[in-house]
Chains A and B, each alone.
Chain A
């Protein structure tokens, strides 16, 4: 019953999209989880040829700057330091080596599923200095903030965070203000929006006249979002619509945001592909400086250099797609990644490679 219902719904949506589209439409899915889902479910095959889907700057590992990658790897080689990180980061090539290579050379690099697991590790191994690598957007930063508050309450002296957290709205602003990214609408992230709320995209609608639709991760969610975007585009409208109401409210999760800003404050941050963007990162407030790896360790690195020939920057700016990169599928594969977009499961190159669009 359900199965038939859903198939019918997919068909109905595809038909409705076909009917609504007038000219060519270029839609950006901002978030890496959407990129993955679009490939996994073959969404492109359900769309008329006039609709082009491009990926945006929403893969946290991919937008982490080469300098930050190098500093995280340098941290792993300090005496008595254990680096705890989400798995996606481990194989990202630094200017010299990756965390995986550092581990093979003896560094203690542990993969955790949650920042609170990293704190547990510190509490159980008091002789170790555990540094959690804080990479992620508004969805992840509150989880790290809660962990830092717990660390302070527990009076730990061996748990630290290296914060590379980034904020999505300033990056979208910078992308449409300073680059040639030309799109007709945005599929806005699902769980970043759970935290920041659908209303966070109002300024983008106003400034750039871009239709914005917040979407969940299922095929029906994504098709619905595309339909709404195409309809707005065809009518020459631009507004925020939310088709993920079961997880995203207008205002978002104020409790999580309050906690996040209790621990972090906005500061300028460097993004791969987008450069330095004002107030687009989160640094740990002075009040928590004893937990801030940046302040507690002397991190020395050589000059950072992005991998030669890698086009991740252009891909993040939606100026290129992976097949445009001469290394794609040749020297650069998920087994031998040259850039972060091939490493992260949310990276555009990895998604193109895994789902066979590299013919």
Chain B
């Protein structure tokens, strides 16, 4: 159930404490785009950051450097499959 691939943040919308219209990010990984909620993420990401997503919610923000290291591995996995 855990999606391990960090997704790149393209843009963010909305403000942090608005429960009615919660903050979201448009994210992308391996050519797929999605909109994910930012209500519970540990730190608000900006464009270029990466997030780990669970059930439509970002749960953790990684800097580009942190993410790239793991993305290299994921690309490699994909190639080998």
A113 and B79 contacting across the interface, CB-CB below 8 Å: no
B55 and A114 contacting across the interface, CB-CB below 8 Å: yes
A246 and B40 contacting across the interface, CB-CB below 8 Å: no
Docked Cα-Cα span, A248 to B72, in Å, equals 19
A residues near B59, Cβ cutoff 8 Å: 139, 142, 191, 194-195, 253, 256
Docked Cα-Cα span, A306 to B57, in Å, equals 33
Contact A146 to B80, CB < 8 A, known contacts A33-B2, A190-B2, A218-B73: no
Docked Cα-Cα span, A146 to B66, in Å, equals 27
Docked Cα-Cα span, A118 to B66, in Å, equals 33
Shortest C-beta distance, A30 to chain B (Å), equals: 12
Out of B2, B66, B69, B77, name the residue touching A139 (CB < 8 Å).
B2
B-side binding surface: helix, strand, loop or mixed? mixed
Shortest C-beta distance, B77 to chain A (Å), equals: 7
Does A289 have its Cβ within 8 Å of any Cβ on chain B?
Answer: no
B residues near A256, Cβ cutoff 8 Å: 40-42, 59
B62 and A247 contacting across the interface, CB-CB below 8 Å: yes
Docked Cα-Cα span, A217 to B76, in Å, equals 14
Out of B22, B72, B73, B75, name the residue touching A150 (CB < 8 Å).
B22
B residues near A219, Cβ cutoff 8 Å: 77
Q: Mark B54-81, 1 if CB is under 8 A from A, else 0.
A: 1111011010001101101111110110
For window 19-65 of chain B, which residues contact chain A by CB distance below 8 Å? 19-20, 22, 37, 39-42, 52, 54-57, 59-60, 62
B55 and A2 contacting across the interface, CB-CB below 8 Å: no
A residues near B2, Cβ cutoff 8 Å: 31, 33, 139, 190-191, 217
A2 and B76 contacting across the interface, CB-CB below 8 Å: yes
Contact A346 to B40, CB < 8 A, known contacts A114-B57, A150-B20, A246-B70: no
Contact A140 to B40, CB < 8 A, known contacts A6-B76, A217-B2: no
A residues near B73, Cβ cutoff 8 Å: 2, 6, 218, 220
Of all chain A residues, the one with the shortest Cβ separation from B56 is A114
B79 and A3 contacting across the interface, CB-CB below 8 Å: yes
Of all chain B residues, the one with the shortest Cβ separation from A148 is B19
B residues near A345, Cβ cutoff 8 Å: 1
Q: Which B residues have a C-beta under 8 Å from some C-beta of A?
A: 1-2, 4, 19-20, 22, 37, 39-42, 52, 54-57, 59-60, 62, 66-67, 69-70, 72-77, 79-80
